[in-house]
Structure 1
Amino acid sequence: RKTGYSMTRQTADLVTISHDHPGHANLNAVKPEYQTITGPGEYEMHDVFVTGIRTYHDEAKGAERGYNTIYLIEVEGLVICHLGDLGHTLSEEQAEAMAKVDVLLIPAGGGPVLNPTRAAELVAQIEPRLVIPMQFATATGDKDREDVAGFCRHLGLAVPAAEEKLTLRHSDLTDTLRLVQLAPNS
């Protein structure tokens, strides 16, 4: 794979695709019997509510790299926001739609996605309680990106040890921003 990461076969009820890109839209790695959401709109499946918001993969309103969909996923009292391959700052309307995000998954390694500075600015704009950076350089992949240290520095946080798994309940969240670095599957 282009990213340098391998992925074991996964099981899922629901899969969201922010944009069709072979580098990370790998439906072949998901066992059959799942529902797929591939764009903007409002969806409800298995007591999970999903809102897809149209955005772009670049600053040129998609002219360079196309569309991107941000997903807001409401499940078990949590609002999880996956920014996909967002490549621009949010409009006021887009930011308002994300006013109650608990967990934010954000690209933060630069290149064709947000660099650490812009990613930190979006964290300040969205104000999640937990942030999970994506698409940053690690020892095993995405080596053409910046590492997570710059993003943490812009947020005023120490670089946490990578965690293999995150289990989260609404009661685990506090008003203090927490960053979780998930260990890549290599």
Structure 2
Amino acid sequence: MLVLTRLLALAAMLVSAAPALAQMGSQCLAMAQAAPPRLQAAYFRAEEAFRPRPIPAAAEPVTIRFVGHATFLITTPAGVTIATDYSGHAGPGVVPRVVTMNLAHSSHNTANPDPRIEHVLRGWNPAGGRAEHHLQVEDVLIRNVSTDIRSWEAGRVPDGNSIFIFEVAGLCIGHLGHLHHRLEPEDLAYIGQLDVVMVAVDGTYTMAQDAVVDTLQVLKARLVLPMHYFGQSTLERFLATLGVAFEVERSPMPEITVSTATLPRTPTAVVLPGY
């Protein structure tokens, strides 16, 4: 009965949200823009509702460079540069056009971003409540889905983190930020289908590594970029936890180019050196 109640609530939410979501022009929100989910019996699993979306024709590649910790520098085909979980550094001499930040630790944000940065997107609302971003910058749509975090001082902090999603060149790229909990069906509905996921794999400050793997299996992204692991032994434990469900590749370079044509055929974790 509880499962049915939650499904009905999710279906109602998607019906009411669909016009606004469609107005966003989001390619990742295939489920939310389609018919409400089909009700199933109690063995229903949330991830079964999220079918892979049709992949558009091949487009120019997007470049993703691992700067370190939780910061990646994304460069779109139009040349828009985006630094994720920006703490003041995006590479030698680099001033990104857009930065995203999160609240959990000072290594994920800065109080003094370079004034030359055109768009500073905070994953939390300093005035309280939920941060909401929906920004089109040339060829990339940037939006966020807020999640809760925990802190030693305040306990649970509602909406203290944002998953930032970058939709560009037919790809849906998600940076999970400092995610502290498994995703709820409502979260998944607003995230949609991702192709690339950047995920913290430290196993302590964020989520346990087995919970991270469960989350990746629900998201069904074909390319996973590990981050936020503090040391090689932690990274190796995470890669072992992935098991046979994911291929593992190790890049000698901190940068990868990806397009709809070059996405891995099966879910693959690619380790980019950045520490």
1:97-136 equivalences under 5 Å are 97-136=190-229
2:41 maps to which residue?
none
Report if the CA contact (8 A) 1:70-1:83 is conserved.
yes
- Deviation digits for residues 21-71 of structure 1 (CA, Å, limit 9, x no counterpart): 322324767682331111333222222111111101239xx8345610111
Q: What is the Cα deviation at residue 176 of structure 1?
A: 0.1
What amino acid is the match of 2:216?
V
2-structure distance, mates of 1:28, 1:161 = 34
1:35 maps to which residue?
119
User: Given the two structures, how large is their TM-score scaled by the length of structure 2?
Assistant: 0.56
The root-mean-square deviation of aligned C-alpha atoms, in Å, is 2.9
2:144 maps to which residue?
52
Which of the residues 220, 239, 243 maps onto 1:152?
A: 239
Gaps of 5+ in 1: 140-145
Report if the CA contact (8 A) 1:49-1:73 is conserved.
yes
Between Structure 1 and Structure 2, which shows a larger proportion of helix residues? 2
Alpha carbons of 1:11 and 1:31: their partners in 2 closer, same or farther (altered >3 Å)?
farther
Deviates more, 1:85-94 or 1:151-160: 151-160
What amino acid is the match of 1:153?
A
Alpha carbons of 1:111 and 1:8: their partners in 2 closer, same or farther (altered >3 Å)?
farther
Alpha carbons of 1:20 and 1:10: their partners in 2 closer, same or farther (altered >3 Å)?
farther
What amino acid is the match of 1:160?
E
Q: Identity over the aligned pairs, expressed in percent?
A: 23
2-structure distance, mates of 1:160, 1:115 = 22
What amino acid is the match of 1:94?
D
Report if the CA contact (8 A) 2:98-2:117 is conserved.
no
Is the partner of 2:187 in helix, strand or coil? helix
What amino acid is the match of 1:56?
D
What amino acid is the match of 1:12?
P
Is the partner of 1:124 in helix, strand or coil? helix
1:17 maps to which residue?
101
1-structure distance, mates of 2:134, 2:116 = 23
Gaps of 5+ in 2: 1-68, 70-88, 123-130
